[in-house]
Amino acid sequence: MSRPLDLAAIRAEFPILSREINGHPLVYFDNAASAQKPDAVIDAIAHQARTAYANVHRGIHTLSNEATEAYEAARETARAFLNAPAHENILFTKGSTEGINLVASALAGEIQPGDEIVLSIMEHHSNIVPWHFLRERHGAVLRWVGLTEDGALDMADLAGAIGPKTRFVAMTHMSNVLGTVTDMAEIVRLAHAAGAQVLADGSQAAVHMPVDVQALGVDWYVMTGHKLYGPTGIGVVYGTAEALDRARPYQGGGEMIEIVTRDRVTYNTAPHKFEAGTPPILEAIGLGVALDWMQQFDAAEVHAHEMGLYARAREGLRGINGLTVHGEAPGKGAVLTFSLEGAHPHDIAQLLDRYGVAIRAGHHCAQPLMDHLGVTATARASFAIYNTDTEVDAFIEALAKARKMLL
């Protein structure tokens, strides 16, 4: 049975939400950048560090065994969260950025000059720059897929971009700027028909919707802990058994080997093959607790709550002259990105901070998308399970005051 969505009780589990900023209650609407952490996560990390910390896998003493059990339990939690078929499909990294770099590096040996990698113009830089490495160093060609007027992925453009030279398709599952949710299963169908692998960047999607990697059919899926109410410095890469088997190790060191001699090396099996050195032990344990914490709640109920906050904020913005909302594709997530004519987003964010409201301002590591939108930067409010209608109203009121000061 799911835990009730009692906002007062939930908020009480996040100590930071009781803060005041500049004499006002904190309104934290920067969740797409990084979410706050509940006591369960904070306490689990501290408890492990205090009572059962040691390096994992290599020791035979009690502390090492206890740490290994907790670390591998977190892997199993991540497996279940994504519905991966086995724990061997789950790799721990320091975040989505490292995860995508891992995949790009692991596949670099398969890329020949002229091979094509398909991206969308709304990708985060973390899902652009690693593929530029393959363009610079291996002669890959980047093919770009555009958007429809409302900010949805242009599926006709995608179908035209995938061809006989396509080796890889890397797409966001949910845009960190527009909130657009892509039809990942259809992306996979088109890519696989051309013999190409698919990586889904789930940094945003994994927070706001159930993810079933087997149903999606992706070869690779990445997510990051700090957006999932977990710690920084931890992320997850899912890879199919076939994809992991053909991929080269990303880094060399301890744990990822079976035998090392003076003239040869043989590699361990996945997931260890891709986890060189001492892993982020406490961070992985914290992520496991965060995923367990999230899964107490009914996902559909949480989604409805977050989208209710988005709808309330979106309606509140309708009365502000000169304001443009970017991205209104059907089925989008709870991310509200906007521009105010005559006002720089950084100035908006700074003024909102005077009233205790934290939003994001900048290009959101999505400069190709900013070029498409015809702006250099935008402001973004993003919503989480612990946010409330009262906070949305405070945001709208603060934005109205900021507009009067700026214009």
* Structural domains of the chain in order of their starting residue, each with its CATH number: 7-30+298-406 (3.90.1150.10), 43-294 (3.40.640.10)
pLDDT band at 256; cut points 50, 70, 90? confident
User: Mind spelling out the 3-state secondary structure of the chain?
Assistant: CCECCCHHHHHHCCHHHHCEECCEECEECECCCCCCCCHHHHHHHHHHHHHCCCCCCCCCCHHHHHHHHHHHHHHHHHHHHHCCCCHHHEEEECCHHHHHHHHHHHHHHHCCCCCEEEEECCCCHHHCHHHHHHHHHHCCEEEEECECCCCCECHHHHHHHCCCCEEEEEEECECCCCCCECCHHHHHHHHHHCCCEEEEECCCHHHHCCCCHHHHCCCEEEEEHHHCCCCCCCEEEEECHHHHHHCCCCCCCCCCEEEECCCCEEECCCCHHHCCCCCCHHHHHHHHHHHHHHCCECHHHHHHHHHHHHHHHHHHHCCCCCEEEECCCCCCCCEEEEEECCECHHHHHHHHHHCCEECEEECCCCHHHHHHHCCCCEEEEECCCCCCHHHHHHHHHHHHHHHHHHC
pLDDT at position 145 over 90: yes
Active site residue ranges? 365
Model pLDDT, residue 58: 78
Average pLDDT for 323-350: 97
Mean pLDDT, the chain, whole residue set: 97
Average pLDDT for 301-312: 98
Model pLDDT, residue 255: 86
pLDDT band at 403; cut points 50, 70, 90? very high
Q: What is the pLDDT of residues 194-225, one digit of tens each?
A: 999 999 999 999 999 999 999 999 999 999 99
pLDDT band at 407; cut points 50, 70, 90? confident
Burial class (CB in 10 A: 0-12, 13-18, 19+), 297: middle
pLDDT at position 295 over 90: yes
Q: What is the pLDDT of residues 25-77, one digit of tens each?
A: 999 999 999 999 999 999 999 999 999 999 999 778 999 999 999 999 999 99
Model pLDDT, residue 146: 98
Considering the entire predicted model, what is its pTM? 0.97
